[in-house]
Amino acid sequence: MTEIKKIAHNTIIQLLGKTITVAMALIGFGAMTRYLGQEGFGYYTTIYGFLAVFGILVDLGLQMTTTQLISDPNENESEILSNALSLRLVASLIFLGIAPLVIIFFPYPTIIKAGTIVAAIGFVFSSLVSTLTSYFQKHLIMHKLAIAEVVAKIIYLAGILLAIYFNLGLIAVIAAITLDSLLTLAILLYFADKKIKLKFEINQTVWKKILSQTWPIALTIALNLIYFKGDIIIMSLTRTQAEVGLYGAPYRVLDVLINTVYIFLGLILPILATAVAIKDFNKLKTTIQSAFDFLMMLAIPMVVGGYFLGRPLMALIAGADFIISGDIIKILLIATATIFIASLFGYAVVALNAQKQMIKFYFINAVVSIIGYLIFIPRYSYWGAAWMTVFTEGFILVTASYVLYKKISFLPKINLVAKIIVAAAVMGGTLAYFPTINLAASIVIGAAVYGLMLVLLGAINKKLVAEIISIK
């Protein structure tokens, strides 16, 4: 099986699994928003936004660094993975243990402070899942990750529905989410331990190697999450919890989209790292270009479709109380599309070990965004937050493109992008022409028109598609 076919098959398998888990997660999300309402979901959003700040300190960039290190044939895979997991566990226990103590001093209701304790436990489990995912990405066995996520999500959905049925409140809802993370981790540890020996290990030499390579990534991720989650914290302190809920609802949808794309990028990173290791820069540029074309094929129709379907989409997912979130998501989808491409270029920068060159840009962006949030959120609420998010993500895209160009003289070719824009425009015109049909029919018609236009414009490589779907 060719490399591109392996990547495609693993991406398809993971996407199938993700489709099932997303469907269950959205059912749970819709039940949650209808049960909690705007204010209750605002509490939920504040809890996870607050913990995300401490998650910055836990992340350390270990998933990308671990994937990069175990992709090197000269490294001991079991040793690297065991030490990376141990490092992640220690960091999680320290920093996430501090979060419930710090939140005591914030002017939040008691329910938010209590929920933070339960949610912090789930954060520990999910942080270990993130690092362990590197093993399955490297070996292109993502179907096992898909199995773990599907099984855990079934239990999660049952837990959410039971909490709502028995009216157990916000804490029980958060407990169901924590259980989801625990089960995913347990199943992945079972799968991994059948292939390699994993244990809690503190090898100072290995820890130094990991930390020396990961600290620039950790710093950039920290600065990235400051501006990515800073809006939620500032809004929770300057506006009502109902407004936080209205803003947080579309963010949950965007998290699903972004995490789905990270599945693909996670499979690409070992290929990029290997190309750099053997100094095959032609392959590196070709891989980046192919990934860029693929992501643009997803991003552009997503923005166009969101413009026409944002309100009915959020009404269906979160309920009628969140229909205004449908207008917010139209703006945030622009930021999401930008994140798709910026993340690709960011992964390429990591593969080239040029992440230190991005630090100053992330720092500038963090400072500017926080200042912008402090100015615009108190005055314009979620509208100010959404447009500042678009600005900050655009800044990172431009600067990552600059670093990549300086490093390997790469600029993406946009021949295919023009065809994608035309296809998306025709799709948008079709959706505008049939404004009264229901959401499901709109999605089906829009997708069909877009796909047909891509074929007619020659934007789809039929030979490549034939290779991917062949089962020889």
Q: What is the DSSP string of 201-261?
A: ---HHHHHHHHHHHHHHHHHHHHHHHHHHHHHHHHHHHS-HHHHHHHHHHHHHHHHHHHHH
Residue 381, phi-psi category: left (phi > 0), alpha (psi -120 to 50), beta (remainder): left
User: How far apart (Å, rounded) are the C-alpha atoms in residues 420 and 427?
Assistant: 10
**305 in Cβ contact with 381 (< 8 Å):** no
User: Helix, strand, coil: what percent of the chain each, to 5?
Assistant: 85, 0, 15
| Encoded tokens for 207 | 């820890």
User: How far apart (Å, rounded) are the C-alpha atoms in residues 175 and 183?
Assistant: 12
pLDDT at 4: 57
User: How far apart (Å, rounded) are the C-alpha atoms in residues 143 and 242?
Assistant: 39
| Encoded tokens for 437 | 């049909």
pLDDT at 12: 64
Angle, alpha carbons 116-117-121 (nearest 5°):
105
User: How far apart (Å, rounded) are the C-alpha atoms in residues 449 and 472?
Assistant: 31
Which residue in 339, 327, 334 sits closest to 381, CA to CA? 327
* 3-class SS of residue 263: helix
pLDDT at 472: 42
pLDDT at 467: 45
Q: Is 168 exposed, middle or buried (0-12, 13-18, 19+ CB in 10 A)?
A: middle
Cα dihedral: 152, 156, 162, 168 (round 10): 130
pTM over 0.85: no
Question: So where are the chain's domains?
Answer: 3-413
**21 in Cβ contact with 145 (< 8 Å):** no
Q: What is the mean pLDDT for each group of 10 consecutive residues in the chain (472 residues)?
A: 56 69 88 96 95 77 72 75 86 89 94 95 89 72 79 92 95 95 90 76 84 76 72 95 96 84 79 85 91 94 95 93 95 96 92 86 90 96 96 94 94 92 96 82 93 89 51 42
Cα dihedral: 228, 231, 234, 240 (round 10): -140
Which single residue is written with the structure tokens 């937050």? 385
